[in-house]
Structure 1
Amino acid sequence: MTTPPRSPRLLVLSTVVLAVCGVALLAVPHGQEQAAPGSSPVSVTGVPSPAAAAPSVIAPTVAAAPSKPRAASPSPVVPSALPPHGEGVAGDRAVQQSLEAAWPADLPADDERELLATGRSLLRADATGIGREKWPELFPHSPAVAPAFAAARFRIQAAIARQDGRPNQAVVHLVWAGTDRGGTFTDLRITDWHFTHTVKKGAPTWTPQPHT
């Protein structure tokens, strides 16, 4: 089968189309590609912009430095729970244990016994008037001054004897209960008697100091 000759008109049209395509291709700058939809544009010259060339600076995450440890301070001694007011004799043991836990013993046993015996007697004499004649220098106005508490309702709940700053000084710390002349009962009262270690008649002893 013989192919019919192409029309000169069709050849001219094809030549025009090819020429237009060639011009369009020449108009596109060398090395530029059309960016795909959604992709970031690429620099025409291939040289990154200053913003792109500079590395991104990220502030380093600084962990909070631990606070400087404070100087170790003596931890307060936590005594055992005190009994409620009005507990009576049943609560005295807890008071005694609280004192001993708060102030550990620091005196020789013989000195502690002497101080406790004298301290208890002094407190009873001061509160009830009983035995004041033993210490006329401490109670010069007795018996003119009436006792503030009734002897029948007086009770020492707890007592300890400890050093008082220096080896030759001591303090007897007493907790007690009593009913005053107005009939009011109060427990967990606190009284301190201070002593100085002296020598009397050639024998060392603990001498009570007047209340100031």
Structure 2
Amino acid sequence: MTTPPARSPRLLLVTTMVLTMAGVVLLTLPHQSNTVPETPPPAAASAVRPSSPSTGEDPAASGPGPSKTTPTTPTGSAIASALPPHGEGVAGDRAIQQTLEAAWPADLSAEDERQLRAEGRELLRADATGIGRAKWLVFFGDPDQAIAPAFATARFRIQAVIARRDGSDDQAVVHLVWAGTDRGGTYTDGRITDLHFTRATANKDGGATWTPQPRT
């Protein structure tokens, strides 16, 4: 029977040192994660989509929004929002006229608009300054009980005027922008007045006449 040679203590010591060093190296290596970063589901992504800056609605929303209707005739607040700044004087009147005409295209015949604009000017002047009220008794009523004029004639000025249909062919409204000095001495431009008219029977020349609606 052959006895195997005894292992060298030196070889065992070297082997032990190598194994120890390998363990230390493995312990010092950084661990790498095998997990995949989570991706938010489509629903979460859409929830953080920025809104449209103009409408405040999600641009991906389906279906048309509510329809918007434009009034056929402007209101006083709508006129004010469309006018140029105050204080430009006579030089700004043309811009005001052009702004009104661009905002509300004509919907009356040229003859009807010409007549309504002329009568609207006269009626407003009579109302503000008291001049010519006798022509408009249906509007002012008894001259002896009429309200005293609130504006001086010296600086009264109509800056712009348009006439448009007011719901039907026989109804019209005259929109006027004007300037004036009140009895307290305060001058203000950009004042807005709406005067309503009703179509009357044809005059002797065959054309339509317009009558101002009484004060309510």
Tell me the CA shift for residue 142 of structure 1.
2.3
Matched, 1:61 2:30: no
Corresponding letter in the other structure for 1:67:
A
1:167 alignment partner, SS class? coil
Distance of 1:187 and 1:95 partners within structure 2: 11
Aligned to 1:100: 101
Amino acid at match of 2:100: L
TM superposition outliers: structure 1 runs of 4+ over 4 Å: 74-81, 200-203
- Quick one: which amino acid aligns to residue 88 of structure 1? G
Measure, in 2, the Cα distance between the counterparts of 1:189 and 1:93. Answer: 15
The 3-state SS of whatever aligns with 1:116 is helix
Residues 1:70 and 2:60 aligned together: no
RMSD over aligned CA atoms reads 3.6
> Structure 1-normalised TM-score?
0.67
Q: In structure 1, the residue corresponding to 2:68 is in which secondary structure?
A: coil
Question: Percent identity at matched positions?
Answer: 58
Q: Who is 2:4 aligned against?
A: 13
What letter corresponds to residue 126 of structure 1 in structure 2? D
In 2, the alpha carbon distance for the partners of 1:211 and 1:164 equals: 17
Residue 90 of structure 1 corresponds to: 91
Query: Cα gap change, 1:109/1:183 in structure 2, threshold over 3 Å: closer, same or farther?
Result: same
Contact 2:140 2:215 in 1 (8 A): no
Query: How far apart, in 2, do the equivalents of 1:163 and 1:94 lie?
Result: 23
Q: Scaled by the length of structure 2, what TM-score is found?
A: 0.66
Match of 2:11 in 1: none
2:213 to 204, 209, 212: 209
Aligned twin of 2:119:
118
**Greater relative contact order (CA < 8 Å, ≥ 6 in sequence):** 2
Aligned to 2:155: 153
| Number of the residue aligned with 1:165 | 167
Contact kept, 8 Å, 1:92 with 1:158, in 2: the verdict is yes
2-structure distance, mates of 1:73, 1:134: 42
Looking at secondary structure, tell me which structure has more helix per residue: 2
Structure 2: how far apart are the matches of 1:81 and 1:194? 21
Q: 1:81 to 1:137 in 2, by over 3 A?
A: closer
Aligned to 1:135: 136
Unaligned runs of 5+ in 1: 1-7, 18-36, 39-55
Question: What's the CA shift for 1:106?
Answer: 0.8
Q: Which has the larger radius of gyration?
A: 1
Amino acid at match of 2:90: V
CA distance in 1, matches of 2:112, 2:123: 16
Contact 1:126-1:147 at 8 Å conserved across structures: yes
